[in-house]
Amino acid sequence: MKPLVYITRLLPEEAIESLKDVATIKMWDKPDIPVPRDVLLSEAKEATALLTMLTEQVDEELFNQMNNLKIVANMAVGYDNINVKLAHEKDVVITNTPDVLTDTTADLTFALLMATARKLPEAATYIKQNQWTTWSPFQLAGTDVHHKTIGIFGMGRIGEAVAKRARGFDMTVLYHNRSRKPEVEKELGATYCSFNGLLELSDFLVCLAPLTEETKGIFNENAFQKMKQSAIFINASRGALVNEEALYHALTNGEIRGAGLDVFEKEPVSADHPLVKLDNVVALPHIGSASYETRMKMATLAANNIYAFLKEGKAITPVY
Ligand code: GLV
Ligand code: GLV
């Protein structure tokens, strides 16, 4: 009997083609609604492999109910939705989708930075709502991006790709990372900073670090107080790195100028979310890697990880 693969969202046939030779596939049949927890627990019970989205919590309850589980392929580069420590103990392989989304996510991060600095959503709404009656000197005037200082928190692959873009805008590039990256310092002219130094010196503070025990809530009241009053905070990694109440306070008390947020602590957020309602916030619905090409590559890589594991006993991009 072929092993069972459970896929937690409706994915295009061409992305999961490879799996058909080696597995029986069960797939949740909706593209835009996450599989309900009880359906996942019952339908995937016998599965050897899970192909998950970041909307699924792969936790102790799930591991305990899935006795055949050998691999979880997450269709995301981040995997904070998975209890990796427990997976390790239970000998379950975890894979993510690095590299294929690096440039796409860096593009979005930089676009969000520019949109926030130059008030693009506000300006686009202005004209659509028929408010453009004349040209005026400081109408919709934002702040410059070029020649400013960008501080990258989390110099992984995406951080490097953002640094490259920043260089094209003649920016000074600072970064903070768990470990120093001499090759990035050399190639991209980036300068390593302490976390406090990054907060104090950046005009644009860009958060790209993964969510871990160490980074959870690191952007707190204290951190925002250290930032320049003219600074713009950009988050394109995970919402939980930020204490949202502290960010709200900083944005409404003039401690920082604005924020561009692609991620939130609890997603999805509604139009009523306090941060979304602020004029100096540009909010996006977690679309960092959302180009059609890249989402196809991510889905295919997740499927191919399972294929390689089932066929050859070795996944392509395991996280450890
Ligand atoms: C999306 O946020 C990802 O981690 O790929
Ligand atoms: C993800 O690819 C990262 O390392 O930033």
pTM exceeding the 0.80 threshold for the entire prediction: yes
Please give the positions annotated as active site.
238, 267, 286
If you average pLDDT over residues 105-117, what whole number do you get? Answer: 99
Domains 4-99+292-312 and 102-283 share a fold: yes
Report whether residue 288 contacts ligand 1, using a CB cutoff of 6 Å.
Answer: yes
Burial class (CB within 10 angstroms; exposed 0-12, middle 13-18, buried 19+) of 205:
buried
CA distance 83 to 101: 23
Report whether residue 76 contacts ligand 1, using a CB cutoff of 6 Å.
Answer: yes
Question: Would you say 2 and 24 are in contact if contact means Cβ atoms under 8 Å apart?
Answer: yes
Of 54, 74, 77, the one to substitute when testing ligand 2's pocket (max ligand atoms within 8 A of C-beta) is 77
> How high is the pLDDT of residue 75?
98
CA distance 303 to 202: 40
pLDDT digit string (tens) for 193-245?
Answer: 999 999 999 999 999 999 999 999 999 999 999 999 999 999 999 999 999 99
Place 128 in a pLDDT band, splitting at 50, 70 and 90.
Answer: very high
Residue 291 pLDDT > 90 = yes
Place 68 in a pLDDT band, splitting at 50, 70 and 90.
Answer: very high
C-alpha 278 to ligand 1 mean position (Å): 25
> How high is the pLDDT of residue 320?
84
Report whether residue 239 contacts ligand 2, using a CB cutoff of 6 Å.
Answer: no
Closest to 80 measured CA to CA, from 56, 114, 46: 56
Residue 184 pLDDT > 90 = yes
Residue ranges covered by each domain of the chain: 4-99+292-312, 102-283
CA distance 57 to 62: 8
Name the 3-class secondary structure at 119.
coil
If you average pLDDT over residues 78-106, what whole number do you get? Answer: 98
Q: Does domain 102-283 have CATH number 3.40.50.720?
A: yes
If you average pLDDT over residues 118-146, what whole number do you get? Answer: 97
If you average pLDDT over residues 134-151, what whole number do you get? Answer: 98
> How high is the pLDDT of residue 98?
98
pLDDT digit string (tens) for 16-35?
Answer: 999 999 999 999 999 999 99
Residue 11 pLDDT > 90 = yes
Q: Say whether the ipTM exceeds 0.90.
A: no
If you average pLDDT over residues 156-181, what whole number do you get? Answer: 98
pLDDT digit string (tens) for 274-287?
Answer: 999 999 999 999 99
Buried b (16+ CB within 10 A) or exposed e, 158-187: bbbbbbbbbbeeebbbbbbbeeebeebeee
Report whether residue 302 contacts ligand 1, using a CB cutoff of 6 Å.
Answer: no
**Domain boundaries 4-99+292-312, corresponding CATH code:** 3.40.50.720
